[in-house]
Amino acid sequence: MKENSKSSFTDGTLPGHAESLPTPSQIQTSEEVTIRSAKPTDIYNLVYLERHSDQEDLYSDTEFLFLMEDTYHDLLIAECDKRLVGYLAYELKANYDRVLAVVIAPSFRKLGIGKHILALLSRRKTLAMVREHDVNSQLFLRSCNFKWAKTHQNAFECPADNAYVMRRDA
């Protein structure tokens, strides 16, 4: 999972936006956040958001395009005041959805945006795989009713790490 908490957008702006992002104090609830499908015009801001977060497994612009265009993947955008503040990448499997990433701008975490966007996958069983050492992501998923299902030894490379598969039933 990709919802951790070290970095921050210090100046509150994204490239390509003359105006600053709304501040977290301006967001009272996750209902003030709009969720929509990603568009190719979002690529620049998606890459910027990810690079300014504390992610270990980063997506490239081509990988973001693949997620948007492939039939079996989807990429949802979280916006506040028409500015990108997060995203959810997931894969549609035959019997379940598999979360690939939940990324929220560091200064917008702990506002319910990650839970709000992840709740959209509640119609079916949902799986997520997180690094064993990524306790923040494990706690985030537990707060979204995911439970540990199994451990995959040496599932990640660079750096090598085990993976916890977490599951939420519909």
d(CA 109, CA 143): 13
- Per-residue pLDDT at 52: 84
d(CA 89, CA 98): 9
- Per-residue pLDDT at 1: 53
List, for residues 149-166, the tens digit of each pLDDT value.
Answer: 999 998 888 788 899 999
d(CA 168, CA 128): 9
Length of the chain: 170
List, for residues 34-83, the tens digit of each pLDDT value.
Answer: 999 999 999 999 999 988 887 777 888 899 999 999 999 999 999 988 89
Contact 118, 33 (CB under 8 A): no
Cis amide leading into 159 (omega within 30): yes
Rounded (10°) angle between helices 61-69 and 43-51: 130
Structure tokens that stand for 114 in this block: 């990650």
List, for residues 129-149, the tens digit of each pLDDT value.
Answer: 999 999 999 999 999 999 999
The CATH fold of domain 24-121:
Aminopeptidase (3.40.630)
- Per-residue pLDDT at 122: 84
